[in-house]
Amino acid sequence: MLRADNVSFAYGASPVVRGVTLEVPAGGFVGLLGPNGSGKTTMLRLLAGTRQPQQGQVLLEGVPIARLGRAAVARRMAVVPQETHLAFDYRVLEVALMGRYAHLGAFEIEGPADVAVACDALAATGTLHLAERPFATLSGGEKQRVIIAATLAQLGRRTAADRARTAAEEHGILLLDEPTASLDLKYQLEIAALLGRLHDERGVAIVLSTHDLSFAAGLCRTLVLLRDGSVLASGPTSEVLTASAVADLYEIALPTAQTLQTRLPVPVPVVEKRWQPPFPANGGSRRLETTVAATVRLARTVVVFGALAVTALLLAPLVGSTTISLRRALDWTTPFAQNTDAQIFFIARLPRTLAGAFVGATLATAGVVFQGLLRNPLATPFTLGVSAGAALGAMLAITFNWSLGALAWSAVPAASLAGSLAAVGIVYALAQARHRGLSTSVLLLAGVTLNAFLSALILFVQYFANFTDTYRILRWLMGDLDVSSYETLGAALPLALAAFVVFAWIARPLNLLSLGPDSAEAHGLDVTRTQRAAFLSASLATGAAVSVGGPIGFIGIIVPHLVRLLVGADHRIVLPASALFGAAFLIGCDVMSRTLIAPVVLPVGIITALIGGPFFLWLLIRNR
């Protein structure tokens, strides 16, 4: 079913796995046992296909796993890591539904059949009653059982036609990396009983790594002993797990190994099924009364937040230090040159309102994507240096009085957009310089470094600017909508629309990235492609927004967090909700900037900073 044929792997110049051969038959139960650094975790990653061997090959049903697509592998084989730390507060049912990723199309939403598969998996692991609980509130044993449920949902079939497959395809393979690590005895027994039942009753083939000799002796039918990346011994558990083998494996004295050997029967009650877990064998059949289909939640969210955004968009142009009449502003019988209300409405206020909606929606969604990409709820659209590049471009245009000649678009937004695109290219090149994929840690380091360097260049330009240009530079850096125009919006809109299309495509993959890159790839996600798409689209969207309104801060962190408090953590819901709420939020801030101390008009960046500063401190305290 699954075979590793003379595989070797090294991290840099350090070999980790050396010529290992092992086979997992259909319905087999194989344990990997060995000291720290013996290559157990790396061997599991090689079997899962998330690492490619530098020598030898891994075969799934006789086909090299490297030739199979990630989704095809994920439908047959699932991985349970040692620990799972979600970046956002998903519900248990949402975590289980993540296992359905490999079975769905790019824009497909889980249907009733998928929900049924996930609920069946939760029932099988005794966690159905936790379906609506936040994952972060669970105990260690409960979390591990939920992750196992997600892997069962990953291996499950939706239709009768799907289920009419070979036994090997139906039952699948489960890879577990030290599933009882950091668990107390009670939860260790629960996991042991669960794995035994999945193997015996569902025919799931299981491969697990462990340090626990008793756990391995009580559950595994076959053992592979690894030391220094090589196979020391392999075969039936009763033949392999001898005192002399334990002494050789851990390089301990034989009397000590013999003492350990006398303690191996500890999990016998689990094997003989005398001990029963504290949940029904069928997991219960409790209905999920509060479960709402993702399509319904999405439609409801769009309607509610859309109504808020439309209301803000319609009312904001009518509010200001000068009262105007909408009827008179739209009165086409009066010449425009003589219609003061129309001039205020169409020239002064409507462009600001449209720009506020555009910038708010774009920065809010870019913030969501950057937080999902970096797995950091405190990340912002300006974290990776895009705004610094845009600011430098704008500063140069102001200082040197650049002009676009006959073109209607101002040189400042054009230079700002060009600077942001240049910053995106530099960060992307640096992040990939020594990695085939896109390392988020290197990406973050490159972005912060570039941000500091470009900030120094901005100060350098400011130092040589005259008084008037310095004032214009400071006003632009505050972030405002007073220079927005229909031409500026028209030039930036195509970039933002292209980014929004990518956002729709990566919404579900961002959920999987919350599990971590290795787990996401084991679910069938092309992690590198998703990371590239997320970084480039969010950066382009940020550059487009900054070219219109300057670096207006805190939108990309306030809005996503408020939205998650209201609608949950699912990015398919959070992204459209953030776009609509971000538009309404910035429009509201712009109205405040125009009316707070009228007739003086404050830069809207001041208002968002006054709101965002305390909000950010609250987030830091909340996330400690």
Instruction: Dump pLDDT digits (tens) for 308-335.
Output: 999 999 999 998 888 888 888 888 888 8
Confidence of residue 272 (pLDDT cuts 50, 70, 90): very low
Q: Domain check: are 490 and 615 in the same one? A: yes
Q: Domain check: are 241 and 381 in the same one? A: no
Q: Domain check: are 403 and 333 in the same one? A: yes
**Spatial CA neighbour of 39 closest among 65, 11, 58:** 11
Please report the pLDDT score of residue 406 as a whole number: 54
Q: Domain check: are 265 and 319 in the same one? A: no
Q: Domain check: are 320 and 244 in the same one? A: no
Count of the separate structural domains present in the chain: 2
What average pLDDT does the segment 352-364 reach? 96
Q: Average pLDDT over the chain, rounded to whole? A: 85
Q: Domain check: are 263 and 356 in the same one? A: no
Please report the pLDDT score of residue 290 as a whole number: 39
Domain-terminating residue out of 237, 271, 305: 271
Residue 110 placed within a domain: yes
What average pLDDT does the segment 370-383 reach? 90
Q: Domain check: are 525 and 616 in the same one? A: yes
Q: Domain check: are 388 and 470 in the same one? A: yes
Distances (CA, A) of 319 to 149, 325, 339: 53, 10, 17
Q: Domain check: are 568 and 478 in the same one? A: yes
Residue 262 placed within a domain: yes
Q: Domain check: are 326 and 253 in the same one? A: no
> Would you say residue 615 has pLDDT above 80?
yes
> Would you say residue 436 has pLDDT above 60?
no
Q: Domain check: are 145 and 249 in the same one? A: yes
Residue 287 placed within a domain: no
- Residue-wise pLDDT for 232-249, tens only, equals 999 998 888 888 888 888
Three-state SS string across 483-524, please? Answer: CCCHHHHHHHHHHHHHHHHHHHHHHHHHHHHCCCHHHHHHCC
Boundaries of domain holding 298: 294-622
Dihedral sign from CA coordinates of 362, 94, 140, 173: negative
Confidence of residue 273 (pLDDT cuts 50, 70, 90): very low
Place of tokens 């909000």: 615
Start-end of H helices in 164-293 = 167-171, 185-202, 213-219, 237-240, 243-250, 254-261, 268-271
Please report the pLDDT score of residue 282 as a whole number: 43
CATH code of the domain containing 298 = 1.10.3470.10
Please report the pLDDT score of residue 320 as a whole number: 84
Token duo for residue 65: 């796993």
Domain-terminating residue out of 239, 271, 303: 271
Start-end of H helices in 70-128 = 70-74, 92-97, 112-124
Domain-terminating residue out of 271, 304, 319: 271
Confidence of residue 166 (pLDDT cuts 50, 70, 90): very low
For Cα atoms 233, 239, 244, give the angle at the middle one, nearest 5 degrees.
65
Residues 485/490/495/496 CA torsion (nearest 10 deg): 70
- Residue-wise pLDDT for 470-488, tens only, equals 888 888 889 888 877 888 8
Residue 401 placed within a domain: yes
CATH code of the domain containing 93 = 3.40.50.300
What average pLDDT does the segment 265-292 reach? 42
Whole-prediction pTM:
0.87
> Would you say residue 268 has pLDDT above 60?
no
Please report the pLDDT score of residue 422 as a whole number: 92
Q: Domain check: are 369 and 303 in the same one? A: yes
Residue 64 placed within a domain: yes
